[in-house]
Structure 1
Amino acid sequence: MSLGNNIKKYRHDLGYTQEELAGILCITSQAVSKWESGSGLPDVTQIVPLAQALNVSTDALFGFNTEIYDVNFAEEVEQKANTLRDSGEQSQGALNAVQYLDQQCEENIFNYGIMTSFVQAVGHMSRYVNPNNS
């Protein structure tokens, strides 16, 4: 869904007219109309006030909703990565965990919990890298 469609949806969910939303943001109703039709975009300084006026997060405003970021799934992925890391020889386990998390990041590009686990695993793996053997 586009930004304009999201603005319109959340505005309708609150029962606001374009004029009412414009009044809250101290802008013209024509600006809101342009955003919703896709013929214009809000100024970057309007994004946070717009999200607040629509009672949504900026992620939701841009279409990155919580369904994309499944916290429970991220925890399951982290547990599996930890199991891989802790199995066998330390350096190989660390490498296996990083490879698994790298794959999960590619498959779940908007899941920031998985991305955070990946970054942490890379940091852990770096303890086993010998820069003299590059």
Structure 2
Amino acid sequence: MTLQPTVFIVDDDKAVRDAVHLLCEVHGLQVESYASAQAFLDDYIPTRRGCLVLDLCMPEMDGLELQAHLAARQIELPIIFITAHSSNGEAKRALKAGALDVLEKPFQPHVLIERIHTAFKSIK
């Protein structure tokens, strides 16, 4: 039996986090939400399959730092960044480090769902 992959949402903005969570549920996806990178790390078990929908700009540990943290531990979760405040340099760094995409808020819901399905297809 193969478990359905999970969409892990990490965003410090509750309204965005709740909206993306609901969007995923409506599309039949298994989803978990976290208010911070540390909350995600405290809960995540590295053997779980899925993808990360990750805010780029957050207090304490930002999205790029979480991406680097996961890479250093050889945790290969596909990452889709979402951001309202990105610089072109941050987006380029995220993509160069292996992110699947960087979506600017507000993004089209269908685009995020398409990226999530693409991420799931890339899971080994």
Q: TM-score range by the shorter chain?
A: under 0.3
What TM-score do the two structures reach when normalised by structure 1?
Answer: 0.22
Max radius of gyration: which structure? 1
Question: Does 1 or 2 have the higher relative contact order (CA < 8 Å, sep 6+)?
Answer: 2
Question: Structure 1 or 2: larger strand share?
Answer: 2
Question: Structure 1 or 2: larger helix share?
Answer: 1
